[in-house]
Structure 1
Amino acid sequence: MLLDLHLTADTQWLLALLCLVAIAVALWFVFSRLARYRLIADTPTARIRSAPQGYVELIGHVIAGEDGNLRAPLSGRPCAWYAYRVEELDDDGRTRWRLLRSGRSNEWFQINDGTGTCLVDPDGAEISTLHKHSWRAHTAFPAGLEQHPQGAAALLSLQRGEERYRFTEWLILEHEAIYALGHFHTLGGGRDQLDLNQAVRERLSHWKQDPEALLARFDHDGDGRIDLDEWQTARETALQEAQAEQQALHALPSMHVLRDPQQPRKPYLLSTHDETRLMLRFRLLSAGCFLAALIFFWLFIEVMLAK
């Protein structure tokens, strides 16, 4: 074999086990990336105005949420979505970055494809963006030393000219083209139907939790208890309120929402890369993981044949 390994029995079995685990992990990534590639390739693009309810693919342009653009926490740039990471260079003499803090926005934004607008809940989504920026600085806070929890140490670092902190930011900007694959649901427009019997039961149960208010509202004869006739009046009142709620739902305009399907075989993807580039990315990732699996399989054979 190519490697002339000399291993003890315990080391040989330990390395063999590690190789098998690595092969399993690499193959899992192969099939998961291929599954995403096939989903993107096989799912037809829907139009928001006529999209079916369920798992759909949308392509459109980003519109900021109802409260307008967000501000990216590191660069301060206006955006519809952001994620960031702040790292510090360790003092061990090697180039190793230690995570200080990270985060991402969960505020909703919108997609418009020319036929309609859809609200997008980014929570739980796998998000890839064209706008990724990374830079270094002397302090852990881009705004300056006054925010640094260790101001003296940061000032000394600045005087030495060391850029010990690395910032990385991912952004989705308003008006960018965006690809989305997730669970599409339309609210309002007469689509939402209440279970009137269930709604009545819930109201009555809620009223029972406050006996004094129940008596004040329905004890018409003032005897301190709710008799059968008064309870029937309470049921009729609960039904009328449920019917009024149903009418209010019917009067709401249609509102389209895209969110996480929360199903293992249906990933939630948002990307400002175009569909073709996204498919290529998953194919390359799958190929790279397959190559890694082959390398670990070769190492496994080398370890097993070691003397």
Structure 2
Amino acid sequence: MQELAVALAFSVGACAGGGWWSLRRWSQARHLLDTPTSKIRSAAQGYAEFYGVLEELPEARICGPLSGKPCLWWRFKIEEYHSDGKKSSWRVLERGTSEAWLRLVDATGECLINPAGAEVRPMIREVWKGNLRHPRGPAQGGLLGWLSSGKEYRYTEERLQAGQPLYAIGDFRTSGGGRQGLDLAAAQGEVIREWKRNFAGLLQRFDSDGNGQLDEPEWNRLRLAAQLEAEDRHRQHSVLPAQNHLGKPAEAQPFILSNAGEDELARRFYWQAAGGALLCLAGALATAWLLGIKQF
């Protein structure tokens, strides 16, 4: 009975997981194909798709943590081989992902990308093995080297490099350059909240009768001063050069950075959706069969 319950749990899990994966990949493929490709300079604010070339940021000098090769972004994994004579497996010891921003350039402009939360699919993926936990670490000698000589490690490193093509889809925003409108009420409220953090200074500026509180005329003068301050800050911000940013959408929309193009990605996602649907169907059939056995 216990074995039947375990098998039933696996079949239900396969059905649910396969269905979820199929719907997710199908939805992502539709988002990719239904979102038009934009040029950076003329792109509308919000969810957008771009093709361009990766270029270095002037202040960024990044190398892959395992290979030491120069790159713009990396992801790595270190695994250790385990075997007890009956079964063997690779156990993950370390993994990590770069948090460095990326610079995407097309014929019309450039966009800075925050890769946090993105599904990144690099063209470069290197896998190799060694007998040191970290491939760039110093060689171990003496007793410690002898004890660790029998261990085997596998290293995986993925990288994005300058000059590579990049397909990017995510939430696009532009600041500065006169692109942002002024929500005067919100900006005024932000200025007042900022001034309230130094309430003594606020009283010194607007408490004209010195009674330690702000009456209606004084509040009116404060609001007018905050409005003028908000308008002045907006004017100063508008003359700054426009800066474009791409990041993770607030809604459940795909955020993808890939060296492969839209058509190739959509094709892969459709195949993965089909695989998930087959797993869901197999799980459903297995569940029905196991429930039939249980009744008998």
Alpha-carbon distance in 2 for matches of 1:296, 1:219: 73
Number of aligned residues:
292
SS at structure 1 position matched to 2:133? coil
Root-mean-square deviation (CA, aligned residues, Å) is 2.8
Quick check: 1:132 aligned with 2:119?
A: no
SS at structure 2 position matched to 1:287? helix
Residues 144 and 14 of structure 1, relative CA distance in 2, 3 Å threshold: closer
Q: Deviations over 1:6-26 (max 9, x none)?
A: xxx453344234212211211
Q: Deviations over 1:113-163 (max 9, x none)?
A: 2111111110111111110111111111122247x8xx87751255x4x45
Residues 66 and 260 of structure 1, relative CA distance in 2, 3 Å threshold: farther
For residue 99 of structure 2, the aligned residue among 97, 100, 106 is 106
Aligned to 1:4: none
Note if contact 2:31-2:254 (Cα within 8 Å) is conserved in structure 1: no
Note if contact 2:47-2:171 (Cα within 8 Å) is conserved in structure 1: yes
Alpha-carbon distance in 2 for matches of 1:17, 1:143: 44
Q: Deviations over 1:66-99 (max 9, x none)?
A: 4234221111111111111111123534321222
Aligned to 2:247: 259
Write out aligned runs for 1:53-64 (5 A). 53-64=45-56
Alpha-carbon distance in 2 for matches of 1:199, 1:276: 43
Please, which runs of 5 or more residues in structure 1 have no aligned partner? 1-8
Quick check: 1:90 aligned with 2:77?
A: no
Overall identity of the aligned pairs, in %: 33
Note if contact 1:65-1:107 (Cα within 8 Å) is conserved in structure 2: no
TM-score, reference length from structure 2: 0.85
Note if contact 2:80-2:151 (Cα within 8 Å) is conserved in structure 1: no
One-letter amino acid of the structure 1 residue matched with residue 50 of structure 2: L
Aligned to 1:44: 36
Q: Deviations over 1:31-50 (max 9, x none)?
A: 21122222222322111121
Please, which runs of 5 or more residues in structure 2 have no aligned partner? none
Note if contact 2:188-2:230 (Cα within 8 Å) is conserved in structure 1: yes
Q: Deviations over 1:253-300 (max 9, x none)?
A: 222111111322x11111111223222221222233233334434544
Alpha-carbon distance in 2 for matches of 1:218, 1:302: 79
Aligned to 1:6: none
Alpha-carbon distance in 2 for matches of 1:252, 1:13: 65
| Structure 1 residue 104 displacement after superposition | 0.7
Alpha-carbon distance in 1 for matches of 2:97, 2:172: 23
Q: Deviations over 1:223-265 (max 9, x none)?
A: 574665666554444333222201111112222111111322x
Note if contact 2:82-2:88 (Cα within 8 Å) is conserved in structure 1: yes
Note if contact 1:218-1:226 (Cα within 8 Å) is conserved in structure 2: no
For residue 76 of structure 1, the aligned residue among 60, 68, 71 is 68
| Structure 1 residue 54 displacement after superposition | 1.6
Quick check: 1:274 aligned with 2:261?
A: yes
Residues 13 and 220 of structure 1, relative CA distance in 2, 3 Å threshold: closer
Quick check: 1:188 aligned with 2:176?
A: yes
Alpha-carbon distance in 2 for matches of 1:128, 1:66: 24
| Structure 1 residue 304 displacement after superposition | 4.5
Quick check: 1:285 aligned with 2:272?
A: yes
For residue 24 of structure 1, the aligned residue among 3, 16, 31 is 16
My pick for the range that moved more, 128-137 or 39-48, is: 39-48
Write out aligned runs for 1:126-205 (5 A). 126-145=119-138, 155-157=145-147, 160=149, 162=150, 164-205=152-193
SS at structure 2 position matched to 1:143? coil
Note if contact 2:111-2:244 (Cα within 8 Å) is conserved in structure 1: yes
TM-score, reference length from structure 1: 0.83
Alpha-carbon distance in 2 for matches of 1:224, 1:260: 50
